[in-house]
Amino acid sequence: MGQEQQIRTACRNCHGGCGVIAHVRDGKVVKVEGDPASPISHGTLCSKGLAVTQLAYHPDRILYPMKKTGKGWGRISWEEALETIAAKFREVIETNGPESIVIGQGTGRDYESHLYRFANLLGTPNVLTAGHMCYISRIGATLVTCGNLPVTDWHGDPRCIVMWACNPQWTNPDEHKGVEFWQAYKKGAKLIVIDPRKGFLAKKADLWLQLRPGTDGALAMGFLNVIIEEDLYDKEFVDRYVHGWEAFAERVKQYPLDKVEAITWVKQDLIRRAARMYARIKPAALQWGVPTEQTLNCTDCTRTLVGLMAAAGNLDIPGGNIFSVPPKVRTVSEFSRHKDLSAEQRSKRLGGDQYKLASRVALISPKAAWDAILTEKPYPLKAGLLCGTNPVITRANAREAYAALKKLEFLAVIDFFMTPTADLADIFLPAGTWLEQNHVADNWKRHGFVLARQKAVEIGECWQDHKIFMELGKKMSQPWWDTVEDALDYLLEPSGLTWEEFKQVGHLKGEMTYHKYRQKGFSTPTGKVELYSTVLEKWGHDPLPKYTEMPESPVSTPEIAEQFPYILNAGLRTPTFFHSANRMIPWLREIRPDPIVEIHPQTAEKHGIESGQWVDISSPRGCVKLRAKLNAGIDPRVIVAEHGWWYPEIKEEGHGWDISNINILTDNSPQSLDPLMAATNLRVCLCSISPSENQEVSTWQS
C-alpha cells in the first residue's frame, strides 16, 4: 500500500466553493473531508460533496469518447471525436453560418469562461444556459437597477436576516454557504422566512410568511408599502442615491396590504410586522433564492427586492447586501473575449430583439432555441454542443425540449454519464470531475474570492471541461494556450501569481470596502439606484417594477382551475441531488430513493391518497408519477414536487425520462415567460392529483 497524499482543493458537486482535503492513495481518491482552512465553508461539507468518490469511480461512468453509429455507441479516440465535431461545425458554418450552432451549459462546473470564449471565437451568439431563470437573470436585473449584484454580507454581523425563497443549508447558494448563515443566526439575528413550505428554517424563524407560490413580487411591494407609509425608509440614502423615488413610491401605493393579502395569502398583520422588523433592525440582510426568478415576474421581482434593500438603507453596508470587491484576476468576461463577437453576429442572437436583458448578458432562452430547431425560424439551428446540462429533464415543457434536441442534425454532449439528453447525441465526450481538474474556481461569483481547485487524480481518458473547449477550439483554428495551466497563468496574471504559486496560496480575496457609492455612485446611467429604470424606459418597457399574475392560476385561468385545482410548486430542493445529477450515486439515492410530491393531509384524504403511495400528477401538458409524502406545513391548495428525476438504472434509451419528470407539466409558452429575461415559469402551474394505478414505478435497488 502506497503512502497517502493529502491535496487541498475545492468542491463542485453543486455550485461549489467548499474547501476539501482529498486523500489519495495509489493514484485513487479514497476519501474526502471538509477543509477547516476554507474561508467559505470552514471545514463543513455536504452529502453531495462527501459522495464524490462514488461519482468519480461509478461503474456506469463513461471514461472515453464515444460515437453513435447504426449499431449503437462505440469507443473512439479523442482525435476522432474532436475532428468529427470540428468537421461538422465547419460544414454548418459554411452552409448556414456560425449562428446555426448552439453552445449550451447547465448550472456550470466553473467552465463558463472557456465555454463563452469558444462560442465567441466560433462566431455564434447562441449560448444556451440556465441563466435565463437562475442567477444570471438576477445579475442582469441588478445591473440595470444598481450596477452590480448585492449579496448577503454574513461577515458583517447582520442583526436581521430575511431568508426569501432560499434554503442555504441544503442548496448552498451561489455566493456564501449555509454554514455562514447559521453562524450569523446563532449570534442572535432575527430571522424572517418567506416560503410556501414550513421547512427547517421556517420552524426556527421569528416570523414565517407562507405565501402563495409565485407571488414574491407582490409581497415585496407589501413590505415597501408599510415602510413608505410608516416613514421607515432611509431618507438620506433615498434622497441622495435613488433615482425615481417619487414615481416608485406611487407605484408601491398600488399595493395596499389588503390587496397584497388577497394576492399572496399572507395576513396583513404578518406583512406589517415583517416589514417593520426588516426596516428597523440594523443592519439587515436579504438572502434570495431562485424561486424569485423562475416565473414571468423574474426581472420585476428582483428590481423590487433591490428597492426594498435601498429603501431600508441596507445596500453596501456591513451586515447588509454588499457589492463584494473581486480579487485581482482576469474576469470571465475578459477571458471570454465577448468583444470578438461582431455586432453583426450579436444582432442574430435568437430572441435578442424581444428579450433584451437576456441578450445584454449574452444568452438565449431555451424556447428560442427549440423554436429555431423545430420551425427553422428565424433561421435553423443545425448543430449543438452541450456541456454539463440535461435539458430533457431540467427545462420547461420537457417534451418540446426532447423533440427539438432529437431533430438537431448533429449533437455533441460533454458529461460524466449517459443521461436522457446524452442519449440523443452523436458524440459523447467524457468530462473530468472536480477531482480531476486544475482551475481558478469561483471566478464567476460575486463573493470576492477565487479558490485553487487542484487536480487530485486522473481517471480513464476523461478531460476536464476547460481542456475540451481548448482542444476543440484549436481544431477550429482558435487562439488558445498550449495547456490548461498556461490559461490559468493568464487568468491569474493581474494578481502577480502563476498557477503553481496560486496552488500554494489556496485562495485570493478582494479587499472589501463598504459604502463605495459615496465616492463612485452606482454603475447605472444616472449613477444612482434606478428604481425608475432609464435603461428599461429606453427599451420601451415599463421603467417601474410591478407584479403580474401567474399566466396559469386560479385567478388568471379559472376555467383551467376547474379541471386542475391545485397550484404545483415544482423544484423542491433536497440535500442529496443537484438538479438532475446524482440519481445513480448509492449513498445519495439510498437517502432519497424515489421522487417525492408533498401533499397536505387534508388534500390527500380528499383524494384517497396515503403516504408512500404513487400519485399521478397532471397538468394541461401531461402526467407524471411521484411518491406521496404528507406534509401539514404546506397549504392544502398547493402541491410541492421535486424536479430533476430520471432513472439511471433503467438502461434503455431515455432512462425513463418521462416517468417522473416534473418538467413535462411545466409551461414555456410565450405568455408565460419574463418579457425581458425570458425566465421560464418553472415554479407555478395548475395540476390535479390522483392515486396512480401503477404502484410499481420505482426500480432502484441499493
Q: For 522-539, how does the pLDDT look when each residue is reduced to its tens digit (9 = 90+)?
A: 999 999 999 999 999 999
State residue 177's pLDDT score: 82
Among 461, 491, 440, which Cα is nearest to 110's? 440
Identify the weakest region by mean pLDDT among 45-49, 269-273, 406-410: 45-49
Q: What is the CATH number of domain 558-691?
A: 2.40.40.20
Q: Report d(CA 621, CA 603) in Å as an integer.
A: 22
Kindly state the average pLDDT of the residues 185-200.
96
CATH 3.40.228.10 segments of the chain: 150-322
State residue 168's pLDDT score: 87
Give the model confidence (pLDDT) of 360-416 as tens digits. 999 999 999 999 999 999 999 999 999 999 999 999 999 999 999 999 999 999 999
Residue 67: phi and psi, rounded to 5, are: -130, 135
Give the model confidence (pLDDT) of 161-188 as tens digits. 999 999 888 876 667 888 999 999 999 9
The matching CATH number, chosen from 3.60.15.10, 2.20.25.90, 3.40.50.740, 3.30.365.10, for 66-136+337-482 is 3.40.50.740
pLDDT band at residue 423 under the 50/70/90 scheme = very high
Q: What's at 697, amino acid-wise?
A: V
State residue 702's pLDDT score: 58
CB-CB contact of 695 with 652 (8 Å): no
State residue 216's pLDDT score: 98
pLDDT band at residue 478 under the 50/70/90 scheme = very high
Kindly state the average pLDDT of the residues 263-273.
98
pLDDT of residue 498 exceeding 80, the answer is: yes
Q: How far apart are the first and last CA of the chain?
A: 29
Burial string for 75-94 (b: 16+ CB within 10 Å, else e) reads: ebebeebbebbbebbeebbe
Q: Pick the residue with more confidence: 700 or 608? A: 608
CA angle, 454 as apex, 75 and 26 as ends, to 5°? 65
The matching CATH number, chosen from 3.40.228.10, 3.40.50.300, 3.40.50.620, 2.40.50.140, for 150-322 is 3.40.228.10
Percent of the chain at pLDDT above 90?
A: 93
Cell 445529477 maps to which residue?
581
Query: pTM for the full model?
Result: 0.96
State residue 701's pLDDT score: 72
pLDDT of residue 2 exceeding 90, the answer is: no
The matching CATH number, chosen from 3.40.50.1820, 3.30.200.210, 3.20.20.70, 3.40.190.10, for 5-56 is 3.30.200.210
Residues 6+ apart with CB under 8 A from 160: 189, 190, 191, 192, 277, 278, 281, 282, 283, 284, 285
Q: What does the chain come to in residues?
A: 702
pLDDT band at residue 84 under the 50/70/90 scheme = very high
Residue 89: phi and psi, rounded to 5, are: -65, -40
pLDDT of residue 626 exceeding 90, the answer is: yes
What is the residue-averaged pLDDT of the chain? 96
State residue 698's pLDDT score: 66
CATH 3.30.200.210 segments of the chain: 5-56
CATH 3.40.50.740 segments of the chain: 66-136+337-482
State residue 175's pLDDT score: 76
pLDDT band at residue 260 under the 50/70/90 scheme = very high
Cell 440582510 maps to which residue?
285
Kindly state the average pLDDT of the residues 72-96.
98
Among 38, 28, 35, which Cα is nearest to 2's? 28
Kindly state the average pLDDT of the residues 633-655.
96
| β pairing state of 151-152 and 160-164 | unpaired
pLDDT band at residue 15 under the 50/70/90 scheme = confident
Residues 6+ apart with CB under 8 A from 549: 263, 555, 556
Cell 462527501 maps to which residue?
50
pLDDT band at residue 418 under the 50/70/90 scheme = very high
Spell out the long-range contacts of 268-273 with Cβ–Cβ below 8 A and sequence spacing 24 or more.
Answer: 270/207, 270/209, 271/209, 271/219, 271/222, 271/223, 271/226, 272/226, 273/207
Q: Where are the alpha helices (DSSP H) in 295-346?
A: 298-311, 332-336, 343-346
